Amino acid sequence: MIRPTVRAFLSRWAEVGAALLALALGLWTASLGGLVLIPFGLALAAAAGGWALLALRRARFRGDPGAPGLVELDEARLRYLHPKLGGEIALHDLAELRLVSLRGRQVWHLQDLSGRALLIPLDAAGAADLFDAFAALPGLSSHDLVAALAGSAAPTGSTLPAVSLRQVTVWRRSGSGLRRV
């Protein structure tokens, strides 16, 4: 009954809407007054405000799955299931995270401490789960992830077979490349 475009829009922004409703509930509770309701309402509004900020960043990170493959995140192991380009990297072995724009398509370039690389398209199914996984890396914030996406929009309109490569290093582990064997 609901159009697919409307359903996709609602699913993308549902968490933001829920957080804003919780924020409104907290402000309404604080407006009732009283020794208990004012602090409770303000605490609820503050928590909901933080939740709304993270939900907004997640919604901007999320896109429609259009690339082949599936991203899985299980026990801090990141898997990209694809017949030719698939692979697996443990998050604690991750040495570098780059955002690469290649011929109009953006991909995450993950490199582990041994030098192996894994390419994951931004629009692969399940790629939205990478937001929380990457935000947990030491020294990388959710704001940095969103800024990297905003600052490196893929070029459009080019159908030439020439390679147009643009890379942005989003995160690098301090001391990466130095691993005892």
Q: What is the 3-state secondary structure (H, E, C) of the chain?
A: CCCHHHHHHHHHHHHHHHHHHHHHHHHHHHHCCCCCHHHHHHHHHHHHHHHHHHHHHHHHHCCCCCEEEEEEEECCEEEEECCCCCEEEEHHHEEEEEEEEECCEEEEEEEECCCCEEEEECCEECHHHHHHHHHCCCCCCHHHHHHHHHHCCCCCCCCCCCCCEEEEEEEECCCCCCCCC
Res. 163: pLDDT tops 60: no
Q: Are residues 83 and 158 in the same domain?
A: yes
Res. 162: pLDDT tops 70: no
- Give domain status of residue 181, yes or no: no
**Token pair for residue 41?**
């309402």
pLDDT for res 61: 64
Q: Are residues 161 and 140 in the same domain?
A: yes
Q: Are residues 72 and 36 in the same domain?
A: no
pLDDT for res 106: 85
Q: Are residues 100 and 115 in the same domain?
A: yes
pLDDT (tens digit per residue) in 5-42: 788 778 778 989 999 999 999 999 999 988 999 999 99
pLDDT for res 12: 78
Q: Are residues 49 and 90 in the same domain?
A: no
Q: Are residues 77 and 161 in the same domain?
A: yes
CATH of the domain at 135: 2.30.29
pLDDT (tens digit per residue) in 69-124: 888 988 889 999 888 888 899 999 999 999 998 777 888 999 999 889 998 888 88
Q: Do residues 125 and 69 lie in contact, with contact meaning Cβ atoms separated by under 8 Å? A: yes
Which amino acid appears at position 66 of this protein? G
Q: Are residues 72 and 146 in the same domain?
A: yes
Confidence band for 51, pLDDT divided at 50, 70 and 90: very high
- Give domain status of residue 25, yes or no: yes
Q: Are residues 80 and 148 in the same domain?
A: yes
- Give domain status of residue 82, yes or no: yes
Q: Which domain holds residue 49?
A: 4-61
Higher pLDDT, 153 or 4: 4
**Token pair for residue 167?**
């890379």
Q: Are residues 77 and 162 in the same domain?
A: yes
- Give domain status of residue 160, yes or no: yes
Q: Are residues 51 and 136 in the same domain?
A: no
